[in-house]
């Protein structure tokens, strides 16, 4: 089972360049997420998509855009990369969201993309 | 806003118990979660606890929840070298906002 697949695994960008991180899940999940992981700061939510056709900002959306292309795919775009965006990026998906009324929900994570902006 | 706090490092001897602590601010969550991240990998769900429970036991894992103090802990009995990883507690935020807020993660190092 593939689960959540992210591409690329590693990327080096120059300041000002743009790129798109791809994410696809094969579990028919409704919700998808993009997180960044920085040392000592844990995972911070960039954007999420509660269902196909909707996207919302998370904690740290500045400098990023997202597209929920279809139910399977959720991409993250850096329009003009900055050194502060050097991080490990994780895509995740879940069958349902994490609201009060929902049952315990598991988020499935991809392997991550290690991005360095020089 | 919502916040989840953890200490960053814990070192234990193989065979001892490990206790990883977490405090959170959003008391409306129905469930609280523990995730594990092994080196070079994404996060995987380890266990979770329903907010009406004080304790949940799952083999070597024991989760304790103190709602009054908003304190969550994960105890690993008979810690093994394979338990070396980063452990994150996670709190769904704001009820209905459909997002999971993670702590900074506690790096557990197990030594012989």
Q: Convert the pLDDT of each residue in A72-100 to its tens digit.
A: 999 999 999 999 999 999 999 998 877 65
Instruction: Cite the DSSP H helix spans in chain A.
Output: none
Sorted by sequence, the CB contacts under 8 Å of residue B1 that are 6+ apart come out as B93
Q: What is the C-alpha end-to-end distance of chain B, expressed in Å? A: 41
> Which pLDDT tens digit goes with each residue over A50-69?
888 899 998 899 999 999 98
Give the per-residue pLDDT at B51.
Answer: 85
> Which pLDDT tens digit goes with each residue over A32-41?
999 999 988 8
Cα separation, B88 vs B46, whole angstroms: 9
Contact B98 A109 (CB under 8 A): no
Chain A hits for B30, Cβ within 8 Å: 100-102, 104
Q: Give the nearest chain A residue to B102 (CA atoms).
A: A43
């Amino acid at each position: 089972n593939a689960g959540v697949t992210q591409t690329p695994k590693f990327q080096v960008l120059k300041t000002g360049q743009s790129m798109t991180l791809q994410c696809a899940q094969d579990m028919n999940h409704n919700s998808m997420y993009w997180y960044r992981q920085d040392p000592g700061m844990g995972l911070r939510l960039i954007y999420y998509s509660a269902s196909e056709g909707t996207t919302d900002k998370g904690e740290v959306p500045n400098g990023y855009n997202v597209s929920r292309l279809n139910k399977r795919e959720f991409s993250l775009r850096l329009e003009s990369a900055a050194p502060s965006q050097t991080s490990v990026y994780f895509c995740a998906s879940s069958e349902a969201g994490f609201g009060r009324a929902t049952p315990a929900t598991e988020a499935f994570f991809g392997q991550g993309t290690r991005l360095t902006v020089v | 806003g919502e916040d989840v706090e953890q200490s960053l490092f814990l070192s234990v001897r193989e065979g001892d118990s490990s206790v990883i602590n977490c405090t959170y601010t959003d008391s409306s969550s129905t469930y609280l979660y523990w995730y594990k991240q092994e080196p070079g990998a994404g996060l995987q769900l380890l266990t979770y606890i329903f907010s009406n429970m004080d304790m949940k036991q799952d083999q070597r894992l024991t989760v304790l929840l103190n709602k009054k103090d908003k304190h969550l802990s994960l105890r690993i009995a008979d810690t093994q070298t394979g338990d070396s990883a980063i452990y994150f507690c996670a709190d769904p935020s704001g009820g209905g906002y459909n997002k999971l807020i993670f702590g900074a993660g506690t790096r557990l190092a197990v030594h012989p």
